[in-house]
Structure 1
């Protein structure tokens, strides 16, 4: 028995030794590649875990030079999404990127690709996606914003619109800095999605990766999305700024540099490789000796590796005690601080108001509220929209070049206020910012951006118009407006406007934007808080019209938000061809 037991053990040992070499280096060691639907590899859905309606067809060991993709439309009224894929994108993702899948649907994708040998292949893939899944909070009336298409003109069917919106506060840790600031406001999560002209969602950003409920570093609204020349997207969020591509691949994600806090509203890229970000300054020493955190009144320029190369302190460039417009604001809506009980009531300024994110004057309060930045490469200057002051151009020398606003209360800067003129160059008479003829200044405006036809577009929200409140709130209106500025003569001419004729239904107390679109000679406008004061859900309105004087509506989409008193932020045209 003992000898038999020893022989059995020896046999097992010998057997084990005999198979190990074959397992380690033999034919059986290789792992068979997963079988794909076509001649390439498998389809990896949501490859970077933050963009659920994207995918990658893995190369499966093949070498490709380029590809063409079409995501087939859903039903008879759906929209195809087609784009070319360059070799760089194929190499970066080790596969063919798929963008624009429908949610909760068996997508059909036609793919044409070229092998290194020059041979072309045509294949069809099917990809089942999951339903849209985002945060759900108390008070919602719908799971996701609803896009109701009103009109799409011929030639605009292929438009894709990137919609940026807000959601209610989630229960979260209080992050209010000890000396005020706007960090507590930055607890809002956000919606970020793409709609086509049929109203279908074709991309959205999963909020969970960026949820700041339990992380001070991650708190904040994702604001200031811009698509770069290479198709990637930049955005900032509270205490950080980041860059991603449309498939969700992270290019970088960085904390704000030390000493700067509370980003919101804007980040842009300049044409010399830097980023400009609207922030605030931590532990700012006021002339009276008080130490505060400032609120939405600092611009910093950061290079590609994160070094701060310049800053603009608006507390020293402008007058933080100018109150003529702030006193005229409707206190029911100051940015996203919404209080329906104060509708139609002017802001009451208190000399000893607490520091922090409150409409007020003096460093440490929300006296400026910068909501957009643009960079003018012609003279290395920045153009800023200050909701509570006006639109201002400032040079790198920190000197004001011009001001687009009513000439009231600009101590020491009155000579920098642009003079309104008509189309013949004749000066227009203005009284407290109200001018004769077809001219009006922008009031509590957003997105003062240059166009490539040598003009400036501004979304004129319209609150505080004429430094006053109208007899009834329903008399308010908003506009998309275009100005021609002559910096030598220090004059401004209004050359185009849209929205006044739409009245209160199109009025947005806060947020919103306007972009001139040179590809179709149109103006894209987003009245992002339309319907904010309705009893039901707000109805932000995306309107793209011809940029001539006919102002024909080319696209209009009305969006039902998920809950009352919620607004969208901005909308922009998304160019898929840039991305791949």
Structure 2
């Protein structure tokens, strides 16, 4: 009797009535599963899905084999939920322009175990060309990888191009002119190989306002997905590039940059600006980097923090001593060494200045403290502050100058024995203690401390005699909220000097899994001509700053381009 066959065209297989698989001529299948779909969601070219081919799997395990003798294998388990979501086995961590070897083992719903090997050929990395490029993609120079850290993967939140003629410009201020392709958002392994990147061609558009902006503030959340925001929108996606959601900012709010975080209540805290803000003098302006909104899982705004009404937007103690060559993404290599000048009648917009409608606050990170339902905010142009849901300031970590009515909230520095340090107007005598200056990422750690990336511009409320006297550092503090004191317990970077100095951007995060501080000096070498900038990924023991575990130097693609942040990525969380 003739055997009836139903053809599965997409998988290239046919299944007979007795369950035996046949191969359709011209469409051979690599294994017992279906076809391999490379870049399945069209935005992450170094990912794939091995289709189930009609089979039902209970679980799976994936190993993307390392390239060459020293190549890094990427291993992760896949839960049934991911198998059902993607209708296949998700593959993350492929090499570009390479015949990848991928080993998969899986358990069928019948209980039978299988093991197969797939070959997946990928295309070269596709990027966006720009003026003054010296290479088409950042190059990673691996300096050190300690034993036990070989499998580290780092997501780098990449370069930002400045305003261009196609960008949005608001009337009455705002920071909407920032419009950049996500050209270099990628994952590097400890051999300096790119193992994931976002296609730059699907996140930017000149006609649609929701497509404009700079992608910033990546976080890998508890279930392994990524959250990030971009100008006039925010989104959540998984490591294969499947968008969970993508939403416009709520009406009345504009110009996200720098930060979005998820709270334990499944809400999102987003750094935005306010459109048509009414100033005390009656003028309406678009503000700049000075609002936080909390949105629920459906996109409804449930709370707002307006820094103009919580802090003093006219405090200029730090702003007036900043180097005007690098203020956030405003990079002007010809202005190096020139200090910011405050003009009372300066135009509104993304310029360092005072009062609503100018860049007086520059919030660049948010930490949520569940212990008292408060926010810890890093304001580059003011300091780090903790604010409750009642909008009251709990404490301020910054140099004690110009705070006025909030001076009593400024933390008092103490030594290891609890004695008050001799500190005045940004300078402390006979101690290693220092405040963070123009800092980024003031975040809480799992060991009850606060870490901050102290960029170091305006240190001591002054500019040094020579630019190369500046330095950046990662720093850890213990804060006693009852007594309003602060103690410095760890620092790294001061000894690295000018070569590790980042005037803008950068990050630090405590990694509990290996008890390290993972730092990213994201704009190091920004003005070190004739070189391009050379950010550093530096992971150091949290107990011994002399013990560097991983260090990777990144050679950028063009002059005066900063990177933003970097973080460890764990594919085991994602699948």
Listed as ranges, the matches of 1:19-58 within 5 Å are 32=9, 33-35=11-13, 36-58=29-51
> 1:546 aligned to 2:541?
yes
Aligned residue among 267, 284, 287 for 2:280: 287
Q: Which residue of 2 aligns with 1:375?
A: 368
Q: Which residue of 2 aligns with 1:438?
A: 432
After TM superposition, the score normalised by the length of structure 1 is 0.94
Alpha-carbon distance between aligned partners in 2 of 1:50 and 1:172, rounded to the nearest angstrom: 26
CA contact (8 A) 1:149 1:199 kept: yes
Listed as ranges, the matches of 1:471-486 within 5 Å are 471-486=465-480
Q: Which residue of 1 aligns with 2:488?
A: 494
SS in structure 2 of the partner of residue 209 of structure 1: coil
Give, in angstroms, the shift of residue 30 of structure 1: 5.5
**CA 1:28–1:503 in 2, change beyond 3 Å: closer, same or farther?**
closer
Aligned residue among 111, 117, 134 for 2:110: 117
Alpha-carbon distance between aligned partners in 2 of 1:380 and 1:207, rounded to the nearest angstrom: 37
CA contact (8 A) 1:162 1:571 kept: yes
Deviations 1:205-238 (A, max 9, x none): 0111101333322111100000010000000000
Aligned residue among 318, 322, 325 for 1:329: 322
> 1:81 aligned to 2:59?
no
Alpha-carbon distance between aligned partners in 2 of 1:193 and 1:231, rounded to the nearest angstrom: 16
Give, in angstroms, the shift of residue 187 of structure 1: 4.2
CA contact (8 A) 1:170 1:188 kept: no
Listed as ranges, the matches of 1:24-173 within 5 Å are 32=9, 33-35=11-13, 36-169=29-162, 171-173=164-166
**CA 1:182–1:170 in 2, change beyond 3 Å: closer, same or farther?**
closer
Q: Which residue of 1 aligns with 2:19?
A: none
Alpha-carbon distance between aligned partners in 2 of 1:120 and 1:189, rounded to the nearest angstrom: 41
Deviations 1:434-475 (A, max 9, x none): 113120000000000000100000000000000000000000
Q: Which residue of 2 aligns with 1:470?
A: 464
> 1:315 aligned to 2:312?
no
> 1:410 aligned to 2:403?
yes
Highest CA radius of gyration, 1 or 2? 1
Q: Which residue of 2 aligns with 1:447?
A: 441
Q: Which residue of 2 aligns with 1:302?
A: 295
Q: Which residue of 2 aligns with 1:507?
A: 501
Unaligned stretches of 5+ residues in structure 2: 14-28
CA contact (8 A) 1:392 1:404 kept: yes
SS in structure 1 of the partner of residue 320 of structure 2: helix
**CA 1:550–1:389 in 2, change beyond 3 Å: closer, same or farther?**
closer
CA contact (8 A) 2:318 2:458 kept: yes
Q: Which residue of 2 aligns with 1:532?
A: 526
Alpha-carbon distance between aligned partners in 1 of 2:154 and 2:490, rounded to the nearest angstrom: 23
SS in structure 1 of the partner of residue 157 of structure 2: strand
CA contact (8 A) 2:162 2:330 kept: no
CA contact (8 A) 2:476 2:491 kept: yes
Query: How large is the Cα RMSD of the aligned pairs?
Result: 1.3
Unaligned stretches of 5+ residues in structure 1: 1-25
Give, in angstroms, the shift of residue 171 of structure 1: 5.0
**CA 1:346–1:153 in 2, change beyond 3 Å: closer, same or farther?**
same
SS in structure 2 of the partner of residue 69 of structure 1: strand
Alpha-carbon distance between aligned partners in 2 of 1:31 and 1:526, rounded to the nearest angstrom: 48
CA contact (8 A) 1:368 1:387 kept: yes
Aligned residue among 547, 552, 556 for 1:557: 552
**CA 1:574–1:41 in 2, change beyond 3 Å: closer, same or farther?**
same
SS in structure 2 of the partner of residue 208 of structure 1: coil
> 1:202 aligned to 2:180?
no
Give, in angstroms, the shift of residue 175 of structure 1: 1.1
Alpha-carbon distance between aligned partners in 1 of 2:454 and 2:565, rounded to the nearest angstrom: 14
SS in structure 2 of the partner of residue 408 of structure 1: coil
**CA 1:299–1:539 in 2, change beyond 3 Å: closer, same or farther?**
same
Give, in angstroms, the shift of residue 31 of structure 1: 5.0
**CA 1:90–1:291 in 2, change beyond 3 Å: closer, same or farther?**
same
After TM superposition, the score normalised by the length of structure 2 is 0.95
Alpha-carbon distance between aligned partners in 2 of 1:151 and 1:455, rounded to the nearest angstrom: 27
> 1:244 aligned to 2:237?
yes
Give, in angstroms, the shift of residue 550 of structure 1: 4.5
Alpha-carbon distance between aligned partners in 2 of 1:156 and 1:231, rounded to the nearest angstrom: 20
Q: Which residue of 1 aligns with 2:21?
A: none
**CA 1:188–1:431 in 2, change beyond 3 Å: closer, same or farther?**
farther
Alpha-carbon distance between aligned partners in 2 of 1:109 and 1:245, rounded to the nearest angstrom: 20
Alpha-carbon distance between aligned partners in 1 of 2:356 and 2:136, rounded to the nearest angstrom: 40
Q: Which residue of 2 aligns with 1:13?
A: none
**CA 1:228–1:320 in 2, change beyond 3 Å: closer, same or farther?**
same
Q: Which residue of 2 aligns with 1:365?
A: 358
Deviations 1:515-570 (A, max 9, x none): 00000000000000000001121000110010113430100000001000011100
